[in-house]
Every structure is written in C-alpha cells, then in structure tokens.
Amino acid sequence: MASDGLPAAVVTDSAAGFPPGWLDGQGRAGGVTVVPLPVLIAGQIYSDGGDSLVEPLTIALAQGSEVRTSRPSPGQFERAYRALEAEGHSGIISIHLSGALSGTVDAARLAASSVGVPVEVIDSRTAGMPLGYAAVAALQSLQQGASLERSAAAAAIVCRTSELYFYVPSLDQLRRGGRISAAASWLGNVLSVKALLRIQDGRVVPVEKVRTADRALDRLLEIVQGAAAARPGGSEITVHHFGNDDEAAGFAARLESCLPGTPVSLARCPSVLAAHAGLGVMAVAVVPRPLSS
C-alpha cells in the first residue's frame, strides 16, 4: 500500500503523441507514465511511441501491407500501476484514447481494481495532444495539491474543450481499417477527393471533402484559425504529421503567421492513428489555455 507522502500519479498512452522532449520543456519529465499501444504490421507486433516503429510503418503504409492496431493488455496497465504504487503514490489518474476508437480505456479499467490505491480511469474521448495536454493538466493540478477527483475533472475539461482536425490525402487506409466503405473510398479516389475529418464525441466524423490537396490545406487552415479565434483566452496548437515532415513544417509556419502569439508545435502523428489515417495525414490539435481549471 502506498503511503500518503507522494501525490497521485498520472498515466496515459502513446496515442497522446507527445513530441520528443516536450514533457521536459513543460517541467513534467518523469511525471507522466506513457503506456505504449501495439501496432501489428504483417502479423508482427510493434510498440507505439518510439522511433523503431516509424520506418516499418512507413514502408507498410506505402506498400499497402496489412496494418492493424490493438489495445494493450490489462497486464500492461497493472504493471504500470503497481510500479507507481510501489514508489509511494497515493493514487493514480489514468487517461486514455477515446473508447469509441480503441479498447485501451477498457483495459485500464480492468487493471484498476488490481492495485491498492484508488485509480481514476478517464475516457478522454479524443486523441493526440488534446489527450497529452489533459494528462499534463491532471498532473499540474495534483502537484498544486488538488484532490484526485478535482484533478481528474481538470483533465476532463481539457478534453471537452479541445479539438482535433485531420487532413487525409487518401481514403484507402481508412477503408482498410473499416472506417469508411470500399465504395466511398473508390469514388473518393477516382474524384481525387481529400477528406477533412475531426474527432467529435469520441468518434471520427467528416467535416467536408474538397477536390485538391492545396484546397484541403487552405480549408484546414481556415478551420483551425476559427477554432483558435473562438478561444479568447488563447490556444496551444500542435500539428501532428506522418510521412510529410516538410509539408507539416510549412503548414505550421502558415499557422504561426496567421495566429501571432499562439504557440504552434510539430509532433509526429501517433502511430496508432497513422495506421488508420495513412501516409500524409495531418492532424491539428487546438487546446485552449489555461491548461488547468
């Protein structure tokens, strides 16, 4: 059993997509435990969250090889929780990828009863850096002396008030993953349709379709500008990308020009998301400030 000496700890998963070194820059290094999510490529299991997955996933997506995702085992969460309990943490906030997109949060719930400290498991109903910022908001609240319940509520507020928009240059990978029908994918590709999507109520939903990549990125810029303008307290923006580093850097520069004073960062798209969205995906997270409540 943990002592009362240490505050509660925070656990999330690799779908948060933290940029390398980002937690260090926030002064939160070591304060958030990240459980890697599995990605299956041609039957071989890889762990998300490290550079070792980038090359095989890029090759598999380019070649149209079978790529699938899976939830982590409850045992992975139990080991993470027990390690934190052994360190003396008085409780745990465990916040995860949307339950409508993955069984990750179910695995966390199954493991929560296996440890001797209270575990608050949260379905973020989002992904990417909205999830990452929510985890940091929970940790910040805990470090300021708030209760487990209040800190979990602070994380939930970040999730509810953040947005994540996607640009998908091809519909093929979404079809392979069962996110759209084969007919819709074929028609979209014949017409060179580019999809703009978002996460809403935990699910991926369409925003609109446009005919060219340039127009898609122009519309994505307009949409993100509007989302940021709707937050008078300011926003933090992260541009997730996979297989299109230069394009993403250019898009981030456009955002910085259009939104002076708004921090814009770049981060590789979490592999569990890129596995479904495909090469060239760009996902833009808009997170309001302040990060805690």
Residue 2: which pLDDT band, with cuts at 50, 70 and 90?
very low
Sign of CA dihedral 206, 188, 100, 263: negative
Residues 6+ apart with CB under 8 A from 64: 172, 176
Q: What is the mean pLDDT of residues 249-259?
A: 97
The residues facing 123 across adjacent strands are: 96
Task: Please indicate whether residue 188 or residue 282 has the higher confidence score (pLDDT).
Answer: 282
Q: Above pLDDT 90, what percent of the chain?
A: 71
* DSSP reduced 3-state for 177: coil
> Phi/psi zone of residue 205: left (φ > 0), alpha (ψ -120 to 50 degrees), beta?
beta
Half-sphere exposure (Cβ direction) of 250: Cα atoms closer than 13 Å: 7
CATH number, span 163-288:
3.30.1180.10
Q: Dihedral of the CA atoms 59, 193, 222, 205 (nearest 10)?
A: -80
Task: Please indicate whether residue 245 or residue 194 has the higher confidence score (pLDDT).
Answer: 245
Q: At what angle do helices 148-161 and 129-143 cross, to 10 degrees?
A: 150
114, 78 contact by CB (below 8 A): yes
* pLDDT computed for residue 89 by the predictor: 94
Q: What is the mean pLDDT of residues 179-207?
A: 68
Q: Where are the domains of the chain?
A: 9-37+73-160, 163-288
* pLDDT computed for residue 293 by the predictor: 40
pLDDT tens digits, one per residue of 79-104: 999 999 999 999 999 999 999 999 99
* pLDDT computed for residue 179 by the predictor: 47
Sign of CA dihedral 65, 132, 158, 285: negative
CATH number, span 9-37+73-160:
3.40.50.10170
Mean pLDDT of the chain: 88
CA-based nearest residue to 155, from 14, 16, 248, 1? 16
Q: What is the mean pLDDT of residues 34-63?
A: 91
Count of beta carbons in the 10 Å neighbourhood of residue 197: 22
180, 174 contact by CB (below 8 A): yes
Out of 21-25, 34-38, 100-104, 242-246, which region has the weakest mean confidence (pLDDT)?
21-25
62, 54 contact by CB (below 8 A): no
Q: Can 9-37+73-160 and 163-288 be said to share one CATH topology?
A: no
- Residue 48 sits at φ, ψ, to 5 deg, of -70, 160
* DSSP reduced 3-state for 287: strand
